[in-house]
Amino acid sequence: MKVSKKLRKLSAKAAAAYQNHRRKPLPLRLLTAAAVAFFAARALLLATFPLEAVAGRPASLVVTDRSGAPLRGFLSASGEWRLPVPLSEMGSVMPRAVVALEDRRFYFHGGVDIFALLRAALQNAKNGRVVSGASTITSQTVRLAVARPRTHAAKFIEFAQASALEFFMDKDKILETYLNSVPFGGNIRGIEAAARSWFGKPAKELSLAEAALLAGLLRGPAYYRPDRRPERAKELRDRIIDTLRRRGVVGEEEARRAKKEPLPRARLALSGARVQAAEAAARFGGAAFAADGYGRFRSTVDSRLQRLVLSELLRRLPAAEREITACAVLVENDGGAVRAYVGNAREGTEGASSWVDCAQSERSPGSLLKPFIYALAFQSGKASPSSMLCDVPDGAGGGTRNFDRLYRGPVSARAALAESLNAPAVEIFRRVGAENVLNFLRTLGFSHLTRAAAYYGESLALGGCGVTPLETARAYLALASGGSAGALRWGEEEAKPRGPSLLAPGAAFMTLDILKDVRRNLPAFADADSDGKRIAFKTGTSYGLRDAWCAAVTKKYTLVVWFGDPRGRPHRSLVGLKAAAPAAAAIMLVLTEKGEPWFAPPPGTVKKELCPLSGAPRNQYCPKSRSDYVIEGVTDDAPCVMHAYSGGKVVIKWPQKIERWRAARGGGKDEGLEIISPKDGASYVKRGGGDEIPLAASGGRGEIFWFADGVLIEKTGEAPVWKMSGGRHTIAAADEYGNAAEAEITVKEPASGAEGEIPLLEESGGQAL
């Protein structure tokens, strides 16, 4: 409405001027006619002004880190480097210099400088040719937006459009548009692109000398190019500095110092040395990558963390094996922000394969998916961390084998996951079901699992599929987020995603609790204990030594590291524990605070006293108990059925698979558990008061439990002892894995009146105490 009223007023003025001009002398009539034509053209242009052409020139897309520092620029749709910035981010030097040199009365005219127009007309008439122009910053802005032939008619329209442009934009916006659009040679357009191209800094940080040089380039980007014609460039720069001094823009001393500054020797690349982090942000930022109106997208990448991750990867890459590279994704748990993304540590240095973004490449995960299968079993009540599993051969030819080709026999789920045993993982996989596992992995974000469950079979539990490091980081983030699987966040100003709950919080907690205990397998992680740093990690090694992985989780961060050859070739160094884990440990030890809290058990996840062998609640015959986590109402609470009393002693009822395995190994005797004290067949004579026999054994695995005639002997000191009683007794020892040994002994009462004396041995082989 306001625009229409102004247009009507302008049209009325033009008509009134036309009615009056006929009564004036000829020169005045000519001037009046020109004015009428000008204002009529201006009124018409106001209605049809191509504002989009002026303000909508394509910008280069620039991805910055979370603080706003550029990571990577992308050419605009027109193939140019144009990095528009607000006038407030151009500093004070460059805008003042351009106004002083190009259009001193910029802030006082209405788009056309009448005084400059008259001066140019007189000078050109005097010389008989065009020696001076009357362009203003506003008219040049129009010319940059709308290309026309250089004719008097085009100049007239340009001035009319300049006057119209002042109707739509204020002065600062016009100056900003001009400085963001003016060419600086080649495909460099705008002051920000020029500043970064020639000086490697933003326009707001330009010195007086640098601003003067760029202002000079506006008069001839190729003619005054400093790296090719340094003498011309310096002469023009210094003249501009003198002009600014004379016009009061800068002081005498500042001008003198500016003239001493050296010229740049070459133009700098604007794309950025490390491009994959920015490209990933541009690709996955989605709707957030609409930029901020100036072609910039502020990503979540933290440059400090990016440098840390990259440096640790490079430090551990084998120097003699240039075909091996690494990638890593670091995510902040609270909100899922990607804080570091290294797609290829050797990016752009080692031929074509160095440009492969390995973080988005499909690779075999090895054992890296096992924690999710265990978590699903914990959630469904099909297992708990203490549940006994069978690490034994299962099938023709030995069945599933572990990485070290050894079997442990009966193991807890906690130990099986901590040691990444394969046979127990397959057992858990069977309990949960192939379809359930596959669907769960898909919901976690593993998009390459497109085949049917029958295609993968049980190999899915052991890495017989393809995943990407980026997908894996999101999946482990779900564990760190209590089972919620939100999308990764790439834009710093994006809202924190709220993903659905895919896993019971208790199951996620128990899985990380197990992975936190595996630091004993790796000195780099074990060192965290002494510093009070809590880190959970899981390694993975693909079949054929093609991929080495490590996923690590702290209270604050989730990290996934991969080492390998982008071409998929095997190499003896590609073992997760040796290649990827040291790099992950080094990164996480830096990022983890001393005494940083760990995840708290969620409601309903509690510790209970359980049988250390079966993992079920302890019955009256279980030798001892051990506390571990269960999910109330989910974990099976039936008491242990493995320990029973039979034939006057406690016996263990093994599952058939364990019985067969033990029978093949001689009932567990080859584990080497042997009672040293008391000796089998020995006879003892009591002294008459409080006599004790020390209990000692060699071999076995884990803690040793002692029994006297089927009754557990409670440990009361550093070394276990048994308080003697007369008669024949069976002393038994059993370790955590069911290996056992027995000793039959006889204890006699002392002869009458002999109390306190040292008795004689009654039988050969007996002992006196």
Render pLDDT for 470-507 as a digit per residue (tens, 0 to 9). Answer: 999 999 999 999 999 878 999 988 888 777 899 999 99
Q: Provide the pLDDT for residue 237.
A: 94
216 and 95, same structural domain?
yes
Q: What is the mean pLDDT of residues 502-516?
A: 96
Smallest CA-to-CA distance from 458 within 488, 409, 424 is with 424
Dist CA 456 CA 507 (whole Å) = 25
- pLDDT greater than 80 at residue 450: yes
In a domain, 14, yes or no: yes
Straight-line distance from the first to the last Cα atom of the chain, in angstroms, rounded to the nearest whole number:
114
Q: At what angle do helices 208-217 and 252-259 cross, to 10 degrees?
A: 70
Across the chain, mean pLDDT equals 83
Cβ(41)–Cβ(48) below 8 Å? no
Q: What is the mean pLDDT of residues 300-316?
A: 95
- pLDDT greater than 60 at residue 22: no
- Residue 675: which CATH number? 2.60.40.10
Q: What is the mean pLDDT of residues 284-302?
A: 73
Torsion (CA) 166, 167, 173, 175 in degrees, nearest 10: 0
Q: For the ranges 415-429, 608-622, 732-746, which has the lowest average pLDDT?
A: 732-746
Q: Provide the pLDDT for residue 670.
A: 41
- Coil, helix or strand at residue 11: helix
In a domain, 29, yes or no: yes
622 and 706, same structural domain?
no
In a domain, 400, yes or no: no
Smallest CA-to-CA distance from 464 within 391, 519, 544 is with 544
Q: What is the mean pLDDT of residues 396-405?
A: 65
In a domain, 578, yes or no: no
Confidence class of residue 15 from pLDDT cuts 50, 70 and 90?
Answer: very low
Q: Which of 230, 259, 288 is the last residue of a domain?
A: 259
Q: Provide the pLDDT for residue 666.
A: 64
Q: For the ranges 43-47, 63-67, 619-623, 726-730, which has the lowest average pLDDT?
A: 43-47
Sheet holding 740-748, edge to edge: 711-712, 704-708, 727-735, 740-748, 683-685, 767-768
**Per-residue pLDDT tens digits for 415-433:** 899 989 999 999 999 999 9
Q: Provide the pLDDT for residue 1.
A: 43
684 and 749, same structural domain?
yes
Question: What b/e sequence results for 168-202 when a residue is b if at least 16 CB atoms lie within 10 Å of its CB, and e otherwise?
Answer: ebebeebbbbbbbbbbbbebbbbbbbbbbbbbeeb
- pLDDT greater than 80 at residue 4: no
In a domain, 565, yes or no: no
**Per-residue pLDDT tens digits for 374-389:** 999 999 999 999 999 9
123 and 13, same structural domain?
no
In a domain, 731, yes or no: yes
Q: Provide the pLDDT for residue 637.
A: 92
Residue partners of 304: CB distance under 8 A and separation at least 6: none
**Per-residue pLDDT tens digits for 524-572:** 666 666 567 889 999 999 999 999 999 999 999 999 999 999 999 999 9
Q: Provide the pLDDT for residue 36.
A: 59
Q: For the ranges 72-76, 304-308, 474-478, which has the lowest average pLDDT?
A: 72-76
Smallest CA-to-CA distance from 666 within 744, 745, 741, 743 is with 741
75 and 23, same structural domain?
no
Q: What are phi and psi of 639, to 5 degrees?
A: -70, 165
- Within 13 Å, how many C-alpha atoms sit on residue 254's CB side? 15
Q: Provide the pLDDT for residue 235.
A: 95
79 and 168, same structural domain?
yes
Q: What percent of the chain has pLDDT over 70?
A: 81
Q: Provide the pLDDT for residue 16.
A: 52
- pLDDT greater than 90 at residue 640: yes
- pLDDT greater than 70 at residue 409: yes
619 and 679, same structural domain?
no
Dist CA 643 CA 621 (whole Å) = 6
Work out the number of other CB atoms within 10 angstroms of the CB of residue 342. 29
Domain count across the chain:
4
**Per-residue pLDDT tens digits for 189-212:** 999 999 999 999 999 999 999 999
Confidence class of residue 362 from pLDDT cuts 50, 70 and 90?
Answer: very high
Query: How is residue 501 written in tokens?
Result: 């709950």
Dist CA 595 CA 155 (whole Å) = 73
115 and 77, same structural domain?
yes
252 and 165, same structural domain?
yes
- pLDDT greater than 80 at residue 768: no
Angle at 153 between CA 151 and CA 156, to 5 degrees: 110
Confidence class of residue 56 from pLDDT cuts 50, 70 and 90?
Answer: low
Dist CA 97 CA 108 (whole Å) = 17
Q: Provide the pLDDT for residue 699.
A: 75
749 and 696, same structural domain?
yes
26 and 59, same structural domain?
no
Work out the number of other CB atoms within 10 angstroms of the CB of residue 487. 15
250 and 220, same structural domain?
yes
Q: What is the mean pLDDT of residues 248-276?
A: 86
Dist CA 526 CA 60 (whole Å) = 48
Angle at 616 between CA 611 and CA 622, to 5 degrees: 35
Cβ(22)–Cβ(40) below 8 Å? no
Domain containing residue 160: 49-259
In a domain, 384, yes or no: no
- pLDDT greater than 90 at residue 646: no
Range from 146-160, 171-185, 324-338, 721-735 that averages highest in pLDDT: 324-338
Cβ(83)–Cβ(192) below 8 Å? yes
Q: Which of 259, 291, 326 is the last residue of a domain?
A: 259
Chain-centre distance of CA 745, in angstroms?
64
Q: What percent of the chain has pLDDT over 90?
A: 45
In a domain, 143, yes or no: yes
